[in-house]
Amino acid sequence: MTTTTQEHQCDVLVIGSGAAGLSLALRLAPTHKVIVLSKGPLSEGATLYAQGGIAAVFDEQDSVESHVEDTQIAGAGICDTQVVDFIARNAKDCVQWLIDGGVPFDQEDSDDDTPRYHLTREGGHSHRRILHTADATGMAVQNSLQDNVRQHPNITLLERHNALDIITRKKVGLGGPNHVLGAYIWNRNQEVVETVRTNYVVLATGGASKVYQYTSNPDVSSGDGIAMAWRAGCRVANLEFNQFHPTCLYHPDARNFLLTEALRGEGAHLKRPDGSRFMAEFDSRGELAPRDVVARAIDYEMKRLGADCMYLDISHKDPEFVIKHFPTIYEKLKQYGIDLTKEAIPIVPAAHYTCGGVMVDKNGTTDLPGLYAIGEVSYTGLHGANRMASNSLLECVVYAWSAAEHIKAHSDHIEPHTALPPWDESQVICSDEEVVIQHNWHELRLFMWDYMGIVRSTKRLERALRRIELLKQETHEYYANFRVSNNLLELRNLLQVAELMVRCAMQRKESRGLHYTIDYPEPNEQSGPTVLTPDQPC
């Protein structure tokens, strides 16, 4: 028998419910029937936890050209210049769309009734161009988008539903040019596999930082969209560039709590355990150097001193100023007995952002007709070898706009298709060995941190690849014989993405941006993206 109980139908299936997915859904909803798939509650994604803000040129003293230049410098020379310019030039309009939708960015007093937004500065930016809502910008964006999505009659929300795989013409044995037909999804509420019939699937699943032992990301960041796109025949690029946020709280009772870069933008110092500052010894920009530089400096000092952590200190600033600008962080740290206004905060780097992903063009289209990828799941060329702070939410909303426009322009070109084949579970049984998944999961995250972390070597990467191949074999056998579970689906996807990350890293014979290897410590004179192509698309 099968456990497929329902076939959903829509014009567009959006897999992911963060800033990218919800923005696109709202832009399409006036003309299209949209289903939004969320692995957990609608809000549980990386957007909710974004503290810093969103970059756009709102200051008359700033310029699009400056934003482009800063992004390219942070990207260590391999950003796609045309894409950076495209995003920077459309930034203000797309951020204004968020404002019009109700996002309450902080404002300053002005001489007239025209809103004047408080702009902060973060690492890599030469101007103050970060719009924010105190230190909880992501929450403000997510809540506003959610409120609007829940009210729209053309948007159906399926919470606690995982996407399993993309269904294509080739996958089901149909002739003609390959194209998306829909997707298999797992209803976690009823523990059954269902189908979604649609001509357009948009991957907005976020990144893959859960592949690492220490991460600032929520549990849902397991590389699902990257793995599904790869299995469907799409190229991926630049997955060796994994950004480690320099400052995550180091505390035995804290999990995944990030300390925004805006703290350093407002004057916080990085210090050793003895209270001495060290960033000036690594970069003339000090605490405002790009994240890859800061993360490596912290990692170096921890290893050199044998220290468990370094410290972030803003206690020299006025307490009222600190509490006003960072109320969320202040209250959170109080729960752990730390007073942000009086003492230094123990910090360590943690995996934070996946700069590479599924290759797309300016419309978010992938190699598979009908499949789009937007946000952190994608490789657009914006981030190059290192993402500049607060460009991530910006990329989400700009590509949500461009992808929506492309879908609207091409929706009449596809003929409707017949019902999809159901998911077949007739040959599988319930597992009584869930411990196998847990063991493989922990092993993967540990050796990825050790071998594919902030500092790498060829030998470490080779070790990682051997372990991944063995774990993939075990997991594939498990997947073929036992019924679907959330942990099994995520482990399957994480192993696939881990392999792609390591293969990308092994191809790059240089150190650049977020990829630092002791075997090739200098950058090459000529460089570009690392591209991987599937052997057998389906």
Q: What is the pLDDT of residue 233?
A: 96
Q: What share of the chain is helix, strand, coil (3-state, %, to 5)?
A: 35, 20, 45
Burial 267-306 (b: 16+ CB within 10 A, else e): ebbbbbeeeeebbeebeeebbbbbbbbbbbbbbebbeeee
Which of 291, 387, 460, 508 is catalytic? The answer is 291
Q: How many angstroms separate the most distant Cα atoms in the chain?
A: 71
User: What averages of pLDDT result for each successive group of 10 residues across the chain (538 residues)?
Assistant: 70 96 98 96 82 91 96 95 98 97 90 83 89 90 96 96 94 89 94 93 96 87 96 97 92 85 93 97 92 88 92 97 93 95 95 96 97 98 93 97 97 66 65 75 92 94 97 84 81 96 98 95 96 78
CATH number of 246-350: 3.40.190.100, 3.90.700.10, 3.40.50.1110, 3.40.630.30?
A: 3.90.700.10
- How far CA 9 is from CA of 33, 176, 194, 417, 423, in Å, comes to 9, 22, 11, 11, 16
- Give Cβ neighbours of residue 374 (< 8 Å, ≥ 6 apart): 20, 21, 24, 202, 203, 204, 360, 364, 396, 399, 400, 403
β-bridge pairing 371-373 and 345-354: unpaired
Three-class DSSP category at 230:
helix
Q: What is the pLDDT of residue 413?
A: 58
Q: What is the pLDDT of residue 176?
A: 86
* Angle value at C-alpha 521, between 519 and 526, nearest 5 degrees: 110
Q: What is the pLDDT of residue 493?
A: 95
Q: CA 410: distance to chain centroid?
A: 27
Instruction: Delimit the domains of the chain by residue range.
Output: 1-241+355-538, 246-350
- How far CA 474 is from CA of 195, 432, 470, 471, in Å, comes to 27, 15, 6, 5
Q: What is the pLDDT of residue 536?
A: 61
Q: What is the pLDDT of residue 475?
A: 86
Three-class DSSP category at 491:
helix
Q: Residue 428 burial by CB count (10 A; 0-12/13-18/19+): exposed, middle or buried? A: middle
Residue 291 designated active-site: yes
CATH T-level topology, domain 1-241+355-538: FAD/NAD(P)-binding domain (3.50.50)
Q: What is the pLDDT of residue 415?
A: 58
Length of the chain, in residues:
538
Domain pair 1-241+355-538 / 246-350, same fold: no
Which own/partner contact pairs does 83-86 have at CB distance under 8 Å and 24+ positions apart?
83/362, 83/380, 83/381, 83/382, 84/381, 84/382, 86/362, 86/398
Q: How far apart are CA 210 and CA 217, in angstroms?
A: 7
Q: How far apart are CA 39 and CA 49, in angstroms?
A: 16
Q: What is the pLDDT of residue 311?
A: 98
Q: What is the pLDDT of residue 1?
A: 38
Predicted structure pTM score: 0.90
Q: How far apart are CA 315 and CA 512, in angstroms?
A: 34
Closest-CA residue to 246 (of 125, 374, 123): 123
Q: What is the pLDDT of residue 433?
A: 65
